[in-house]
Amino acid sequence: MPRLETGRLLLRPPDAGDVSSITAWIGDYDVAKNLASAPHPYREDDAKAFIERMAERLAKGEGYCFSIVRKADNVFMGNCGLNLSEGRCELGYWLGKPFWGQGYATEAARKVLSFAFHDLKAESVWAGWFHDNPASGRVLEKLGARLDGFEPRTSVARGHAVACHIVTLTRAQFGRKRAA
């Protein structure tokens, strides 16, 4: 499992020391409601199961999940990762609320996309964002995403399907954005 680094961030595999932070931050409904599979309320066992699932995916070559750690103070802020199941590559990310609005999600996702395109040789990566979560739409727009369409996707925390924008990021477009 690689460790990635950006100017402000260390991206490393999740470990047992992240459980209490994951539980606290995803326990906030404003985070959970924008994720597909996080339940609400969110308990420590959910965080432990999440870390185990991510380790299993890594072992099977079906995914790479990174914990986003701020280098300045070694604080865990969230996760960013790739799900490679079903022959496609999906990008996902979340941050605890105190860390929103400082460019961290874009910085982490840009590095993980670079890993997908250059190390994993992915041709394209897809992502979905719920219609009422424009901050995530903006993150993906900044990274060069193209809108493919809409489809209902389940939000476990909300307990129902939610209209979701489906976007694609291609290696070519990502390269153009980086060069700009």
Ligand X SMILES: CC(C)(COP(=O)(O)OP(=O)(O)OC[C@H]1O[C@@H](n2cnc3c(N)ncnc32)[C@H](O)[C@@H]1OP(=O)(O)O)[C@@H](O)C(=O)NCCC(=O)NCCS
Give me the sign of the Cα torsion angle 146, 33, 14, 89.
negative
Residues in 44-103 that interact with ligand X by CB under 6 A: 93-95, 100-103
The piece of 45-53, 66-74, 104-112, 150-158 that touches ligand X (CB under 6 A) is: 104-112
Give the whole-angstrom CA distance, residue 130 versus residue 35: 9
Half-sphere exposure of 120 (CA within 13 A, CB side): 27
The piece of 12-20, 31-39, 47-55, 117-125 that touches ligand X (CB under 6 A) is: 31-39
State yes or no: residue 105 binds ligand X (CB under 6 A): yes
User: Which stretch of DSSP H or E encloses residue 79?
Assistant: strand 75-83
Q: Report, in Å, the least distance between residue 160 CB and ligand X.
A: 17
Q: Report, in Å, the least distance between residue 168 CB and ligand X.
A: 14
Size of the site for ligand X (CB under 6 A): 20
Closer residue to ligand X (CB): 61 or 85 = 85
The answer to whether 129 touches 140, Cβ cutoff 8 Å, is yes
Q: Report, in Å, the least distance between residue 40 CB and ligand X.
A: 12
Q: Which of 57, 90, 85 is nearest to 166 (CA)?
A: 90
Binding mask 132-151 for ligand X (x = CB under 6 A): -xxxx-xx------------
SS3 145: coil
Closer residue to ligand X (CB): 93 or 117 = 93
Residues in Cβ contact with 70 at an 8 Å cutoff, skipping those fewer than 6 apart: 8, 9, 10, 77, 99, 104
Residues that bind ligand X (CB under 6 A): 31, 34-35, 93-95, 100-106, 129, 133-136, 138-139
